[in-house]
């Protein structure tokens, strides 16, 4: 689901309830809006500059619309690349932690049984 597939009318109705005087109702509306956006693969941050009004006619200037789409896609790509980099760092940290833990286990085994593992099982 994309921004174009988000039910904008439903989102508008839910967001109208965010202004409720009843705190619980306002909070529930905000959470529902957040779920609707997440279902469409979006967040509040991403929709700040997007017009949720359905377009009755095609854009007057196709080139402008294409440029806008390219800009939005580049921003999304940048965000995804940053997320990939962060997750890659986290994965490397976890891999190093597992290697360290394996080395500690082998060292503990060696000290308990007073005989070293075969060379192919030794820590790096």
Do residues 49 and 69 share a domain? Answer: no
For residue 41, give its domain range.
1-54
Do residues 14 and 40 share a domain? Answer: yes
Do residues 78 and 19 share a domain? Answer: no
Per-residue pLDDT of the chain (124 residues; tens, 9 = 90+): 444 567 778 888 888 888 888 888 889 988 988 888 888 777 777 766 555 545 545 455 677 777 778 888 888 898 899 999 999 999 999 999 999 999 999 888 888 887 665 655 555 5
Burial of 93-107, coded b for 16+ CB within 10 Å and e otherwise, reads eeeeeeeeeeeeeee
- Check: CB of residue 71 under 8 Å from CB of residue 64: no
Do residues 64 and 93 share a domain? Answer: yes
Q: What is the pLDDT of residue 14?
A: 87
Q: What is the pTM of this model?
A: 0.39
Do residues 64 and 108 share a domain? Answer: yes
User: What is the tally of structural domains in the chain?
Assistant: 2
């Amino acid at each position: 689901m994309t921004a174009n597939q988000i039910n904008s009318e439903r989102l508008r109705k839910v967001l109208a309830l965010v202004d409720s005087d009843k705190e619980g109702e306002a909070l529930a509306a905000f959470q529902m809006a957040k779920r609707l956006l997440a279902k469409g693969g979006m967040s509040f941050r991403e929709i700040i500059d997007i017009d949720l009004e359905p377009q009755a006619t095609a854009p007057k200037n196709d080139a402008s619309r294409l440029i806008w789409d390219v800009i939005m896609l580049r921003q999304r790509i940048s965000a995804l690349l940053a997320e990939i980099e962060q997750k890659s760092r986290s994965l490397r940290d976890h891999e190093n932690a597992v290697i360290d833990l394996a080395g500690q286990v082998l060292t503990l085994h060696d000290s308990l049984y007073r005989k070293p593992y075969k060379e192919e099982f030794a820590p790096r």
